[in-house]
A and B are shown apart, each in its own frame.
Chain A
Amino acid sequence: MAQALLTLRDILVRYGPSTILEISSLSIRAGEILAVMGPNGAGKSTLLRLMGLLQEPTQGKIYFHDREVNPSDGLAIRRRMASVFQEPLLLNASVYDNAALGLRLRGLDGRAIEQRIRPWLERLGIEHLANRQARTLSGGEAQRTSLVRALALDPELLLLDEPFSPLDPPTREGLLLDLERILRETGITTVFVTHDRDEAFMLGHRVAVLIDGKIHQVGAAAEVFLRPVNEAVAHFVGVDTKLPGVVETVCEGLAQVRFSGGCVEVAGDFQAGEQVLLCLRPEDITLSAPGEDFHSSARNRLIAKLVKIIPWGAHYRAELACGDSRLVALITRRSFLELKLQVGDDAVASFEATAVHVIRR
């Protein structure tokens, strides 16, 4: 069992009458990357500031290496962490001076600083920019500088607050890949805040979903991604198909659930009469034309009417009406062209019983 590096307990953050954050318990394990995900205004930045000891909670305790942190020993512990924010927030100086700032604040001399900074500048690919003035940098270059500044401190805990969200997609991708490699190689414990689910699941070992100041689910990335624990989380992790229904029959680990658009077979241990919500990811639904001889092991086939079809990156996103509910499927461009479906046509949506994630209501 990995040791807890930082633990938050019974945390409450209030601004006047409104509660921003309410967390009974959250631990960061040594060596892990925790992605904190949630919609805007969820309190993610506040949570990160609490972890970085940059803000005091209205109530609650924070433990670092199992010792409670007091405001008085704040600086010593704060210096064992490093934060990177959304904007690079560099000073009006050269890239080198900016990157070296954290080390200078700790009183290291010029040579020691040079020895530590140069390798990091290389590792993040900005060695050639060392003497450039910070204000002449592009967004990506500036953020790389900010990362060097934090990483060169050799922190026990790295805190990143949506560091790539203001960047354009190719720059963001490049940085993400570089960061992923660096974190993997160094094993630095990291808390990474984002509202982008792709980033969260790509980088995070564990993912925490924060909505309206509360943590709804914390777990391994795959777990949260595929098996959201409630509707709010489901919606946020990209489960676009949600079918409310009732369990009709149960037999040998399979249950039949009836909803407004038909009957669905799901795997799991249920009782007849239970109210449930069936969740499906768009990638798990396949479309075919009605009447087509379709060889597939998918146990579920529903007839649904195509309501909307829009391009979605390299795919197409199809919305279909099934009973009172909507199904959302993601199909490749080629499949779509082959199907020759028009809005208003009926289609067959099929999916595995095991692909359905059931949330009890």
Chain B
Amino acid sequence: MELVWEGIKHACRLLLAGDAEVLGITLFSLQISGAATGLSLVAGIPLGILLAMKRFPGRSLAVSLINTGMGLPPVVVGLFVTIFLWRSGPLGFMELLYTPAAMIIAQVVIAFPIVAGLTMAAFQSLNPNLRLQLLGIGASTPQLLWLLCKEARLPLLAAIMAGFGGVISEVGASMMVGGNIRGQTRVLTTATVLETGKGNFEIAIALGLILLLLTFVVNLLLTHIQQREQIRWPKPS
């Protein structure tokens, strides 16, 4: 247990001293996972809404794929993305392997089905007649989607948090496609694995704690947005 205490002390030292390398890794982790989550939202939310609201041939197949995708083991994703990005692979000419771009690609593959699947569930939990009623008072299609998103705000934000949480905490894919190269593709998770392997347990624990802190702060922010409307209860008249 003193190991954990040592880790906490080390974490504080690293953060307060503004250790450049650790801060760099933390910022980089946030950037990569933030970008991946952002891209997953841009692609995943519209797809989730489409799957929830429209019937089209092949829909059930698409839904099954998304649901399967939600449970993809990150390390398997990493393996397949690596094979694609190898010099001998179809995308090898882009020379993306062991770059931040490759990590973002892998993390999007992980986060996108989570966001799409949970968005779909969020919209399916809305009253099916709500769509008709909003159209029936004159909402255009963009207005309709905006209103439905606002109504489904709670589960939608949960989808975002789940997507972000899934990628900020994963290590298998990041390790494989990024290579954990110092100053280039090292994130908090891969750095933790490295330090553990080297036997530097205080540093490993410190990095792990910083990762937890980062995740906590991000989720705190999103939860605040999610729960904001709930706080204003009407006074009994």
Q: Which residues of A contact B135 (CB under 8 A)?
A: 52, 54, 78
Q: In chain A between 29 and 79, which residues have their CB closer than 8 angstroms to a CB of chain B?
A: 49, 52, 54, 75, 78-79
A115 on interface, CB distance cutoff 8 Å: no
Quick one: which of A78, A89, A132 contacts B138, CB cutoff 8 A? A78
Contacts A92-B151, A132-B234 given; does A87 touch B137 at CB 8 Å: no
Contact assessment for B234 and A49 in the assembled complex, using a CB-CB cutoff below 8 Å: no
Contact assessment for B137 and A159 in the assembled complex, using a CB-CB cutoff below 8 Å: no
Contact assessment for B147 and A82 in the assembled complex, using a CB-CB cutoff below 8 Å: no
Contact assessment for B137 and A105 in the assembled complex, using a CB-CB cutoff below 8 Å: yes
- A84 CA to B150 CA in the complex, in Å? 21
- A132 CA to B232 CA in the complex, in Å? 11
B132 on interface, CB distance cutoff 8 Å: yes
Binding site of B, secondary structure by majority: helix, strand, loop or mixed? helix
Interface size class of B (residues with CB under 8 A): 20 to 34
Q: Which residues of B contact A150 (CB under 8 A)?
A: 137
Binding site of A, secondary structure by majority: helix, strand, loop or mixed? mixed
Q: Which residues of B contact A79 (CB under 8 A)?
A: 138
- A89 CA to B132 CA in the complex, in Å? 10
Contact assessment for A49 and B137 in the assembled complex, using a CB-CB cutoff below 8 Å: no
A190 on interface, CB distance cutoff 8 Å: no
- A106 CA to B143 CA in the complex, in Å? 10
**In the complex, what's the smallest C-beta–C-beta distance from B53 to chain A, in angstroms?**
14
Q: Which residues of B contact A129 (CB under 8 A)?
A: 237
Contact assessment for A91 and B140 in the assembled complex, using a CB-CB cutoff below 8 Å: no
Q: Write the chain A residue with the least CB distance to B150.
A: A91
Contact assessment for B234 and A89 in the assembled complex, using a CB-CB cutoff below 8 Å: no
- A102 CA to B143 CA in the complex, in Å? 11
B101 on interface, CB distance cutoff 8 Å: no
Contact assessment for A136 and B234 in the assembled complex, using a CB-CB cutoff below 8 Å: yes
Contact assessment for A92 and B229 in the assembled complex, using a CB-CB cutoff below 8 Å: yes
Q: Which residues of B contact A92 (CB under 8 A)?
A: 151, 229
Q: Write the chain B residue with the least CB distance to A146.
A: B133
Quick one: which of B127, B137, B233 contacts A101, CB cutoff 8 A? B137
Quick one: which of A86, A102, A132 contacts B237, CB cutoff 8 A? A132
Q: Which residues of A contact B75 (CB under 8 A)?
A: none
Contact assessment for B147 and A91 in the assembled complex, using a CB-CB cutoff below 8 Å: yes
**In the complex, what's the smallest C-beta–C-beta distance from A317 to chain B, in angstroms?**
36
**In the complex, what's the smallest C-beta–C-beta distance from B134 to chain A, in angstroms?**
8
Contact assessment for A83 and B132 in the assembled complex, using a CB-CB cutoff below 8 Å: yes
Q: In chain B between 112 and 151, which residues have their CB closer than 8 angstroms to a CB of chain A?
A: 127, 129-130, 132-140, 143, 147, 150-151
**In the complex, what's the smallest C-beta–C-beta distance from A47 to chain B, in angstroms?**
14
Q: Write the chain A residue with the least CB distance to B139.
A: A105
A85 on interface, CB distance cutoff 8 Å: yes
Q: Which residues of A contact B143 (CB under 8 A)?
A: 105
A131 on interface, CB distance cutoff 8 Å: yes
Q: Which residues of B contact A159 (CB under 8 A)?
A: 136
Contact assessment for A54 and B132 in the assembled complex, using a CB-CB cutoff below 8 Å: yes
**In the complex, what's the smallest C-beta–C-beta distance from B218 to chain A, in angstroms?**
25
Question: Can you list 5 pairs linking A and B with CB atoms under 8 Å apart?
Answer: A82-B138, A84-B136, A129-B237, A132-B237, A153-B138
Known: A102-B137, A105-B143, A132-B237. 11 other contacts (CB 8 A): A52-B136, A54-B136, A75-B138, A78-B138, A85-B129, A85-B132, A86-B129, A89-B134, A91-B150, A91-B151, A131-B234
- By a beta-carbon cutoff of 8 Å, the part of chain B in contact with chain A is 127, 129-130, 132-140, 143, 147, 150-151, 229, 233-234, 237
